[in-house]
């Protein structure tokens, strides 16, 4: 007996991606987002989701999309990782797919070298390929990039030298 993978499919640009339905908390329309200072460009900010603060990453920017359109189909996939909720803006959440495990192949070795280790595999569904993402790796990578930037800015910040005080005592 082969197990089917239950995948939530979504669009970013022209590509269809998928995440296991078990990693998804919910899908919501894009509300007003509060900006956060000094955040990476793909970090849109935070939202208040029924009393919980959720950080929001724009997957379109994170994946390097050149043309980002804001429209009524845009959605936020809310995922939970390590007890924290994170939101991922996508072009649209399309469908729930059942992909037989036999139709899923491991990600090519080159993906790991190009910082694409968040790709867990490729699913074949209806004559197309679905890029399967592992949310834990995607979110850890995003947090590590942010952490590295914070370390760089703290470590390389230039502190001004204390101002030299002129002593007027004994000088005309």
Number of residues in the chain:
172
Residue 168 lies in a domain: no
**CB-based contact 159:145 (threshold 8 Å):** no
Q: Is the dihedral of CA 20, 23, 29, 32 positive or negative?
A: negative
pLDDT per position as a tens digit, 93-105: 988 999 999 999 9
Confidence (pTM): 0.76
Residues in contact with 104: Cβ distance below 8 Å, sequence separation at least 6, in sequence order = 5, 121, 122, 123, 124, 132
Residue 43 lies in a domain: yes
Residue 164 lies in a domain: no
What is the number of structural domains in the chain?
A: 1
Residue 13 lies in a domain: yes
pLDDT higher than 50, residue 159: no
CA angle 144/146/149 to nearest 5° reads 110
**CB-based contact 4:101 (threshold 8 Å):** yes
Residue 172 lies in a domain: no
Q: What is the band of 137 on the pLDDT scale with cuts at 50, 70, 90?
A: confident
Residue 26 lies in a domain: yes
Residue 35 lies in a domain: yes
Residue 17 lies in a domain: yes
H or E element, residue 96: strand 92-100
Q: What is the pLDDT of residue 141?
A: 56
Furthest C-alpha separation in the chain: 98
Q: What is the pLDDT of residue 112?
A: 58
**Domain range spanning residue 62?**
4-145
pLDDT higher than 80, residue 75: yes
Alpha-carbon span 44 to 168, nearest angstrom = 54
Alpha-carbon span 126 to 130, nearest angstrom = 10
Q: What is the band of 29 on the pLDDT scale with cuts at 50, 70, 90?
A: very high
**CB-based contact 78:27 (threshold 8 Å):** yes
Q: What is the CATH number of the domain that holds 137?
A: 2.40.50.180
């Amino acid at each position: 007996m082969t197990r089917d993978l239950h995948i939530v499919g979504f669009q970013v640009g022209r590509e269809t991606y998928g995440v296991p339905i078990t990693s998804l908390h919910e899908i919501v329309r894009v509300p007003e987002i509060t900006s956060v200072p000094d955040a990476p460009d793909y970090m849109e900010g935070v939202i208040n989701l029924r009393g919980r603060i959720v950080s929001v990453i724009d997957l379109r920017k994170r994946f390097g999309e050149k043309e980002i359109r804001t429209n009524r189909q845009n959605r936020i996939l809310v995922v939970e990782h390590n007890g924290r909720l994170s939101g991922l803006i996508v072009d649209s959440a399309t469908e729930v797919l059942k992909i037989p495990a036999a139709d899923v192949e491991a990600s090519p070795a080159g993906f790991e070298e190009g910082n694409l280790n968040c790709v867990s595999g490729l699913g074949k569904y209806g004559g197309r390929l679905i890029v399967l993402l592992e949310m834990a790796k995607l979110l850890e990578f995003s947090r590590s990039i942010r952490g590295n930037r914070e370390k760089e800015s703290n470590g390389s910040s230039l502190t001004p030298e204390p101002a030299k005080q002129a002593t007027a005592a004994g000088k005309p």
